[in-house]
């Protein structure tokens, strides 16, 4: 089946173009954000996150990351404003991270990576009738990216790290209800935005990226819990720690990166 990609030497980002030629496209993600080269756009309004009625369903290990899924059959958890012409529905969030003491974010800022990056994936349910249809449309997805840097314990991240042992193996899933991702936002919602793609196969060029400038702080210990996860399934002999599940920055190809104030 198509899902034979990974982050190793043989199946990693440099090989993805073989099965996913769009990997060599002109609006690929992530990118290096160079703040001095972004365009301050005064017409860019604030983003609004209406997550108060959000309904988380489960948390799972898909062999590439740990994913929390949400009910997206109505407009109960939305992102709107900023660069978006429509409100977009929250579908899932997941993380990317490195190995102990090394970088792990996907986007970089002036060449510097963060320890990890959280992606909240939303889809345009106004224009498209399903997530799948939206996922391959140029204005189908909006991903809110939040950088994680290491420091003190994050007061709410333990709600996630406490259950990671339940999803240690690929294709494991467990109930995860009542989690509101609002608790993972930084204080200020200033952002950069640009048109890009999924950062994993199928690499669809369907994402309006909204990257918050202010990182959240998590502890090394909390981030270390993510590395207890495995890329492989329980039935496999090999035990590969899930870490370094990030794609490196891709060519900007002349794209504009806009900055809210
Ligand atoms: N890292 S990222 O936020 O860019 C990202 C990669 C894959 C997804 S998806 O699982 O939503 C998805 C979306 C469309 C097709 C298949 C999976 S989101
Ligand atoms: Zn991601």
pLDDT digits (tens, 9 = 90+) for 102-140: 999 999 999 999 999 999 999 999 999 999 999 999 999
Looking at the CA of 144, which ligand is closest?
1
Q: Which ligand is nearest to the CA of 29?
A: 1
Quickly count helices (H) and strands (E) in the chain. Answer: 4, 15
Protein residue with least CA distance to atom 11, ligand 1: 121
Candidate of 118, 128, 200, 245 to mutate for ligand 1, largest count of ligand atoms within 8 Å of Cβ:
200
> Residue 101: what pLDDT?
84
Q: Is the pLDDT of residue 1 over 90?
A: no
Determine whether 64 is an active site residue. Answer: yes
Phi, psi of 122 (to 5 degrees): -125, 155
ipTM over 0.95: yes
C-alpha 147, offset from chain centre:
10
- Per-residue pLDDT tens over the stretch 181-231: 999 999 999 999 999 999 999 999 999 999 999 999 999 999 999 999 999
pLDDT digit string (tens) for 10-28?
A: 999 999 999 999 999 999 9
What's the pLDDT at 2?
A: 57
Q: What percent of the chain has pLDDT over 70?
A: 99
For the entire predicted model, the pTM comes to 0.98
Confidence (pLDDT) at 261: 82
Closest ligand 1 atom to residue 197 Cα is 4
How far apart are alpha carbons 228 and 19 in whole angstroms?
A: 29
> Residues with Cβ within 6 A of ligand 1?
92, 119, 121, 135, 143, 198-200, 202, 204
Q: Which tokens is 153 given?
A: 């314990």
Question: What pLDDT sits at residue 159?
Answer: 98
C-alpha of residue 200 to centroid of ligand 1, in Å:
7
DSSP state, residue 221 = H
In order of 72, 93, 103, 137, 212, the CA distances from 99 in angstroms are 33, 20, 7, 34, 23
């Amino acid at each position: 089946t198509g899902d034979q990609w990974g982050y190793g030497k043989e199946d990693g980002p440099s090989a993805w173009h073989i099965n996913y030629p769009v990997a060599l496209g002109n609006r690929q993600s992530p990118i290096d954000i160079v703040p001095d080269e972004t365009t301050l756009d005064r017409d860019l309004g604030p983003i609004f996150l209406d997550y108060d009625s959000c309904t988380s369903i489960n948390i799972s290990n898909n062999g590439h990351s740990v994913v929390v899924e949400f009910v997206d059959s109505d407009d109960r958890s939305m992102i709107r404003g900023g660069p978006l012409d429509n409100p977009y529905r929250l579908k899932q969030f997941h993380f990317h991270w490195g190995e102990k003491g090394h970088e792990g974010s996907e986007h970089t800022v002036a060449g510097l990576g963060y320890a990890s990056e959280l992606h909240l994936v939303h889809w345009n349910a106004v224009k498209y009738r399903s997530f799948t249809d939206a996922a391959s449309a140029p204005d189908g997805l909006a991903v809110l990216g939040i950088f994680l840097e290491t420091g003190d314990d994050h007061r709410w991240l333990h709600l996630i790290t406490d259950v990671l042992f339940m999803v240690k193996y690929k294709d494991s899933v467990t109930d995860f209800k009542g989690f509101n991702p609002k608790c993972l936002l930084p204080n200020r919602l200033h952002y950069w935005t640009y048109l890009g793609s999924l950062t994993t196969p199928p690499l669809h060029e369907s994402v309006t990226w909204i990257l918050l400038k202010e990182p959240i702080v998590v502890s090394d210990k909390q981030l270390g819990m993510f590395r207890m996860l495995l890329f492989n399934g329980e039935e496999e002999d090999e035990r590969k720690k899930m870490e370094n599940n990030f794609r490196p920055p891709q060519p900007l190809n002349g794209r504009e990166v806009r900055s809210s104030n």
